[in-house]
Amino acid sequence: MLRRTLSLDIYITGIVQGVGFRPFIKRIALKKRLKGYIRNLGGGEVKIHLYGDIDSIRGFFKELWLNNPTPSEIYSIKVEVVDPYITGEFDIKPSGTELHLRSIIPPDISICNECIKEIDDPNSRWYMYPFNSCAWCGPRFSMIRRIPYDRPNTAMDRFPLCRECYDEYTDVKNERRFHAQGISCPKCGPKIWLTDNKGNILSVHNPIRTAAELIDKGYIIGIKGIGGFHIACRADSDDIVMKLRMRKRRGEKPFALMALNIEIVKKIAYVNDDAIKLLLSRERPIVILPKRGGSQVSDLVAPGLDSIGIMLPYSGIHYILLKEAKWKYMIMTSGNYYEKPMETTNEGAINRIGEIVDYFLMHNREIVNRVDDSVIRFTGNNPVFLRRSRGYAPKWILLKKRLYTDVVALGAELQNVGGIGYEDKAILTQYIGDTDKLENLMELERILKWFINTYKISLKDSYIIIDKHPQYASRYLGERIAEQSGSEILEVQHHVAHGYSIMAEYGYSEGVAITIDGVGYGDDGNIWGGEVLILYDDGDYRRAGRIKYYKMLGGDLATIYPVRMLYSILAEALGPTEAYHVIMERKLEDKFGIPIDNNILESIYSRERILTSSIGRVLDAFSALLNLCWFRSYEGEPPMKLEAYSRRGRPIEWLFNKVDIYTEGLIKVIDPTLFINEAIDLIWSREASTKDLGYTFQYILGYRLGEVAAEAALEESISNIFLTGGAAVNEIIYKGVKDSIKRHHRKLMLLLHRMVPPGDGGIALGQIYYAAHSI
């Protein structure tokens, strides 16, 4: 009896290029004695033509699901029955440029343990070789010029394989290097060298070992890595850390650390199983951890904070450097000049950060796409992104609601990320930075154009989505793209985008969103940031609650000098003259950025027209009141220091009723004025700990927001409440919201972000998901 045969064309999307997927398919096809071929296609997908008996094909699919390569991720499989294309055996065919299904561009993958073993093995061809990689690991997105992902389309095109590497590349039995596009060895791969800060090459036998020795001696080194330059130095010396801060013009913004392994991490931070899992993951993000008391890490690494950001080495360069260094941990911060993008070229690094560093460790592999390190913290034991970039971008996010037209999202302005959307996918760029800086705006434009070309987005048939803020540079860029291409424009209010961002993660189309952050242009022309919004499945929304409006004394200057917001709140409660007296009593009169007296402040206050409901500004004010922060040197600094300072405080329950809720039209207004006024008396009388006051203030703000959100959810018969916006990561506020909802409305569920940052790095996803509901 003849066995039945079948011929199939199979299209697979996901992370299936650049991760050893074609070699894997060939091996199982040969194992099952199937004929056909596999090839990469121009949308990032793969096509498999398979011919053989049905039982063997069934076994093929079983192996495909159970044993696919670790870095790969299968998102969809499309199968078509076709006429057979019979060859002598199963082949890996040359890639095609045609697009059948759009798929994922692979992100960078941290160095695997097998490659590290080879680096450590004196008998290995890759002994101490910093660019060792295989099918399981190494740079991908940072070195790809175009898809399909093949060596000629990457920065490895200038490094032809030597005979030994070619033999491994063509050996089907070599699981890690057969058809692995990024492999190399000391004979044929990139080279590394050491220079002074002017780019003059130094004659040293081992550049990385010498760099480690220089770091041990107190020098500052610029290091060309995978997605850009880092700046490295010792983290245990106040003098060295302060020298770096002075050169980099980086006031008090925390530096990230890199540690050789988990054992070293445990010496400088408290780490649990969840954190270890993240640190060891193939994405290797920076993880924010509680700083271990008594460690040798300088307090100047993260001034005023009780946590430090740590990552493990994710490339051979970093691994060898840390292994050779004495302390086995060091500062590893972005290699950029003040508020500029991270450098990616040797020439650019010499010109722009040569004055910051003493030496450079450079190599000759091009960085095609700038990719900053990802950052994750824990809020209520939940891992939450602060920055989604290396290791995660540009993986797509599947949408529950389908788009009926392609869209390009420009995001917001600070800590920005852009994106494109098509069908049921949102593809976000890597972290771009603050696009009110021209260089970052240009980078956003460049990478969006790359995405548009790569995914064949027809701009004239697409929507360009922008924030409603009339002064955002990203808005101007979106308007220019629309004008040049004939695209239509869609405006999305900032906090509505925050709400739709987190709903996209969970696949919901309606909900109540607590959206708390520093700034967002509101529908009434004021600056929002302490909102409770009801979001409906047709793109409509209603503002159900907010924090009380206060004047922003001096407009944007109030975001830089927190005492300005303190004065504004006090003037609302006590009147301008009494507010001035409190400022003088707290010795804060020199913290306004300008010389002041009572008349000057009263004049500015009376003329100020900009109002804000931002929780960020209220937290700024309380931080200034407790003498924690008077000048914001980086985004979110005053609230971060307030959270850190208050973390060990306890709630003062009798103060809870000092944050009131009243109704203004259809909107519930949360008013913390009386609390701040009461806190001043308690500080002067020393009847309460300032740590307890700080804790209570943050907790009760969260609690009241939870009350308003719960009431709105019950009125609308909605069961999910979403916490989003940059302040959503504040653990004390989160606890207040959670306790409020749990205590009064046990059937309601509070949801946090898990796939994108709750801050403005998630705005583009919300803009895309909003478009799916409104277009």
Kind plus residue range of the DSSP H or E element containing 495:
helix 494-506
Q: Whole-angstrom Cα distance, residue 592 to residue 630?
A: 8
Strand blocks (E) in 438-494? 463-467, 488-492
Token readout for 742 is: 């749990």
| 67 included as an active-site residue | no
Q: Put the strands of the sheet holding 407-409 in their side by side order.
A: 396-398, 425-428, 419-422, 407-409, 463-467, 488-492
Residue among 323, 391, 319 nearest 131 (CA): 319
Residue among 6, 58, 14 nearest 32 (CA): 58
Token readout for 349 is: 């690094």
Pair 711, 738: CB distance under 8 Å: no
Catalytic residue among 40, 153, 197, 526: 40
Long-range contacts of 156-164, Cβ-Cβ distance < 8 Å, separation of 24 or more: 156/181, 156/182, 156/184, 156/365, 158/366, 159/184, 159/188, 159/189, 159/190, 159/365, 160/188, 161/188, 162/187, 162/188, 164/125
Pair 331, 231: CB distance under 8 Å: yes
List, as one string, the DSSP characters of 401-446. Answer: S--SS-EEE---STTB--EEEETTEEEEPPP-B-TTSHHHHHHHHH
Residue corresponding to tokens 């994405």: 283
In residues, how long is the chain? Answer: 775
**How far out from the chain centre does Cα 695 lie?**
27
Token readout for 679 is: 């806190």
**How far out from the chain centre does Cα 350 lie?**
27
Q: Whole-angstrom Cα distance, residue 76 to residue 425?
A: 12
Q: How many CA atoms lie within 13 A of 341 on its CB side?
A: 25
Q: How many CB atoms lie within 10 A of CB 439?
A: 16
Q: Whole-angstrom Cα distance, residue 262 to residue 311?
A: 10
Q: How far are the Cα atoms of 290, 533, 647, 731 from residue 650, in angstroms, in the given order?
A: 19, 30, 8, 14
Q: Whole-angstrom Cα distance, residue 742 to residue 735?
A: 10
Q: How far are the Cα atoms of 54, 179, 337, 528, 544 from residue 518, in angstroms, in the given order?
A: 60, 49, 25, 8, 19
SS3 (DSSP) at 743: helix
Q: Whole-angstrom Cα distance, residue 642 to residue 54?
A: 65
Q: How many CB atoms lie within 10 A of CB 618?
A: 30
Kind plus residue range of the DSSP H or E element containing 741:
helix 731-744
Pair 531, 597: CB distance under 8 Å: no
| 22 included as an active-site residue | yes
- Give me the phi and psi of 752, to 5 degrees please: -110, 160
Q: How many CB atoms lie within 10 A of CB 682?
A: 16
Question: CB within 8 A of 219, min separation 6: which ones?
Answer: 233, 358, 359
Radius of gyration of the chain (CA): 28
- Give me the phi and psi of 230, to 5 degrees please: -110, 165
List, as one string, the DSSP characters of 659-726. Answer: SEEEEETTEEEEE-HHHHHHHHHHHHHT-S-HHHHHHHHHHHHHHHHHHHHHHHHHHTT--EEEEESG
Instruction: Let me know the angle formed at the C-alpha of 319 by 255 and 341, rounded to the nearest 5 degrees.
Output: 40
Q: Whole-angstrom Cα distance, residue 190 to residue 182?
A: 11
Pair 221, 360: CB distance under 8 Å: yes
Question: CB within 8 A of 599, min separation 6: which ones?
Answer: none
Indicate which residues carry an active-site annotation.
22, 40
